[in-house]
Structure 1
């Protein structure tokens, strides 16, 4: 049993310790989000001016995928989603620490944490089930449709090419 009362999974714990980015899915495609590992949980901020992950703020469960040292997916696990409410002891500990690690943040960590309390949602993702080890590309998704796709045309040739 872990210190937070939940089951411990060594692979999840090891991957989470080093996690700066996680892929999180709430019943749809997974989004890459920056996160803060703390006390056996991953903490994520979503909202205006921060990262978007549709449905996470209202969700009760999510699926988290973490990568290893070489960039490939290492483990995928189910997690419970819990909102960290502004103003409490836990908020003060997590939000200010997380704001201090936020890259390119305007102002102080305290000011950023205060803005998050007004405009954003801070959630804790706690492992809640058997992890699936990932050593291959078996869970890779199809690329999402995008207007940025290239049109395929014949290559431009300045001079005529003669065939023999």
Structure 2
């Protein structure tokens, strides 16, 4: 009994403090980093709509593996199994979960209208811990990144090397001299 209470307290405190959890649905190929809120003994998520996070492999009545990371160091703190429940839009559970999620959603494209969009186009899920924590793994858990159309590498603009070379000459622009030749 004491171990269950300690595990529950660890799951709750770690998950509350972490702004991000890694979630792997029963049918998902890999875990995904998801923003969430801890509310009433469970993780609440919103997604699968335009402009929201994807929730692949998370099905109503299914299970998920949740890994909680440290907010400051990013290392694994605890892993646990959850049951997944989809909250019907407009239900009392949905309303309370959305009230919590709304406060944590950053940069919403539609501001206060986002809850209406969530009701129409998104899923709100509740991941409830099933009990004991998972043992920490012995080896590394590195996985290749998931495929994405996002990119950060682009060709260097043609004029950039000349611009950088001009700055490094030590000419009048570096000394703060504006070139005013009036006397």
Give the TM-score of the pair, scaled to structure 2. Answer: 0.68
1:46 and 2:47 correspond: yes
Q: 3-state DSSP class of the match of 1:48?
A: coil
- 1:37-76, CA deviations, whole angstroms, 9 ceiling, x for partnerless residues? 1111101112122001212144610000001242101111
Q: How many angstroms apart in 2 are the aligned matches of 1:33 and 1:126?
A: 15
Q: Structure 2: which 5+ runs fail to align?
A: 154-183
Which has the larger helix fraction?
2
CA distance in 1 between partners of 2:145 and 2:15 (Å): 27
Equivalence for 1:160: none
Q: Which residue of 2 aligns with 1:131?
A: 133
SS in 2 for 1:24: strand
CA contact (8 A) 2:8 2:131 kept: no
Change over 3 Å in CA distance of 1:29–1:141 after alignment to 2: same
| Alpha-carbon contact 2:68-2:79 (below 8 Å) kept | yes
Contact 2:24 2:57 in 1 (8 A): no
CA distance in structure 2 between the partners assigned to 1:129 and 1:96 by the alignment: 26
Rounded to whole Å, the distance in 1 between the matches of 2:132 and 2:14 is 15
Displacement of 1:133 after TM fit? 4.9
Determine if contact 1:74/1:133 at 8 Å carries over to the other structure.
Answer: no
Larger Rg: 2
Map Cα deviations across residues 112-158 of structure 1 (whole Å, 9 max, x no partner): 11111110100000001321254x7735133247698x9xxxxxxxx
Equivalence for 2:34: 33
TM-score w.r.t. the length of structure 1 is: 0.75
| CA distance in structure 2 between the partners assigned to 1:57 and 1:117 by the alignment | 17
2: CA distance between counterparts of 1:67 and 1:137?
17
Tell me if the contact between 1:26 and 1:59 (Cα under 8 Å) persists in the aligned partners. no
Query: Which stretches in structure 1 are left out of the alignment for 5+ residues?
Result: 151-164
Q: Distance in 2 between matches of 1:61 and 1:146?
A: 24
SS in 2 for 1:131: strand
Asked if 1:140 is matched to 2:141, the reply is yes
Q: Provide the alpha-carbon RMSD of the alignment.
A: 2.7
Name the residue aligned to 1:157: none
- For these two proteins, the number of residue pairs brought into alignment is 143
